[in-house]
Structure 1
Amino acid sequence: MILKSPTVGICISDHVQSIPESLKGIKVRDFVNGSGTLDKIGSIQPPNGSLTVDADIFMMDRVDLKAFMWLLKHDRLLTNHNKSRRGFSATTCNLCGHANESTLHVFRECPRALEVWVNKVPSKMHHEFFNLDLEGWIKLNINGSTKKDGGWSSYWAMASLEMDNKVVGRTKEVRLIKWIPPSLSIVKFNVNGACIEGVDASCGGLVRDDEGCWMRGFAKHVGICSSYMAELWGLLEGLMFV
């Protein structure tokens, strides 16, 4: 069976938005060369001459940045807000105590995040930068439109990744803590508090002499609260204990 060249074709302007004026009346068949392969369709520029946010993310060099930015764009990072939706945590921000640790709170609205952005973002951009929704905020920064000089999108992505490591990822630092005995004939009282986020918290304390021998102590169930509040409960109970 011999296929003849079509006399009609699909008009691109009926299916694609924001194409150049010179190409609005052109048909798909006009992009096929004599060998039957596509010739020019790749030359059509995306709307407004810029790539989509997903495409910009894909073009990043570092794999960890690609993965992080994809999770950020789709609101899949394990903030306390997102963990609470799965029943794993309370929504409270552990850094500032705000009632809802959402993605925008972690990366833009928390006082720790504000310290990073307020002096870096030009004042004329503050209203837009600090009021866009998550998708618009990411698009603004990843397209580099916040600053005229190059490199803003990379700086913003790296700074956001650092925030993720410190807040969402809760990068752990292991430190050895040695108990220091008090002076001769003096007793020392230590208190502590700990919690499993969104599940339970407790506090406790003990009194030891100058040789480290246990004298007396206490333990108390606190309930659901942050680790910071558990520490405060330990301090309060310790003061009442002595």
Structure 2
Amino acid sequence: MCDFCGDQVETVLHAMRDCPLVMPLWLNMVHPNRWMDWRSLWATACHLAWIWRNQERHGINFAAPAAMVMRNVHSYALADQALRSGSNSIRMEHFISWEAPPEGWIRLNTDGSCREDGHIGCGGIIRGRDGEWIGGFAKFVGHG
């Protein structure tokens, strides 16, 4: 059983997503009106959620990681952007707004890109009416 909620078997999915201790982390980080690099957000959030759970278990006071995750993701995005541009200047990001689907529907947003070296990729995210995350994907398509 989960040491924190005592309600569910402590599977990896429960410990990292469904436990009431960790669930607010995901609900507060995934903003329905912002597009962000989901891979870096997910990896950073999982790492900090795991540290948080372990430190809570051993009585070490560790602040809830949501704000820390967002700072790390933002720093990662800026550094990645600077490296890709090949210059010392950093471009500003402009967030694309998201619109809720009609009642009873879900929204699938997709995007794709091709780098100068020919690497092609695509990705998408499915959200419900209230912006809740339902599913998503990222795929390396190949070279073109």
TM-score normalised by structure 1 residue count:
0.22
> Which structure has the greater CA radius of gyration?
1
Structure holding more strand per residue:
2
Structure possessing the higher relative contact order (Cα contacts under 8 Å, 6 or more residues apart): 2
Larger fraction in helix = 1
